[in-house]
Copies of this chain bind each other. A is one copy, B any other.
Amino acid sequence: MREPQSLFLTEDSLGIVTDLYQLTMAAGYFEHGVHDITTFELFVRQLPENRSYLITAGIEQAVHYLTHIKFSEDNIQFLRRLPAFKHVSYEFFKYLQNFTFSGTVYAMPEGTIAFSDEPLIRVTAPIIEAQLVETYLLSIINFQTLIATKSSRIVYAAKGREVIDFGTRRAHGPQAGILAARSSFIGGCSSTSNVFAAYTLGIPAVGTIAHSWVMAFENELDSFHKFYETFPDYTVLLIDTYDTLTGAQHAAMISNKIKGVRIDSGDVLKLSKEVRKILDAKGLQHVKIIASGDLHENRIDDLLKNNAPIDSFGVGTEMVTSKDAPALGGVYKLVEQGHKGKIIPKMKLSKGKVTYPGKKQVYRITDTVGNFIKDVIGLEGENIEGIPLLIPVIKDGKPCYNLPTIHDIQRTASENLIHLPNPFKYLTDAETYPVYKSHGLEVKKQEAERIVRDMNM
Chain A residues engaging chain B, CB cutoff 8 angstroms: 1-11, 13, 16-25, 27-29, 31-32, 34, 36, 38, 40, 60-61, 63-65, 67-68, 75, 78-79, 82-84, 86-88, 127, 131, 134-136, 138-140, 142-144, 166, 168-180, 182, 193-201, 205-216, 218-220, 226-227, 229-234, 240-244, 246, 264-267, 317, 321-323, 326-330, 332-334, 337, 346-353, 399, 402-403, 452-453, 455-457
Contacts and interface: CB of A to CB of B under 8 A. Distances in A.
B20 A175 contact: no
A311 B317 CA distance: 36
Contacts of A246: 456-457
B139 A168 contact: yes
B195 A28 contact: no
Contact of A323 (B5, B200, B327, B403): B327
Given A83-B233, A232-B87, A402 B207 contact: no
Given A5-B61, A173-B176, A209-B21, A16 B455 contact: no
A218 B31 contact: no
A351 B6 contact: no
Contact of A63 (B4, B172, B234, B241): B4
How often does this chain occur in the complex, in copies? 2
Contact of A16 (B136, B196, B349, B399): B196
Nearest to A241: B348
A411 B176 CA distance: 28
A19 B169 contact: yes
Contacts of A5: 60-61, 64, 200-201
A201 B7 CA distance: 9
A215 B84 contact: no
Contacts of A209: 21, 24-25, 28
Contacts of A22: 207, 210
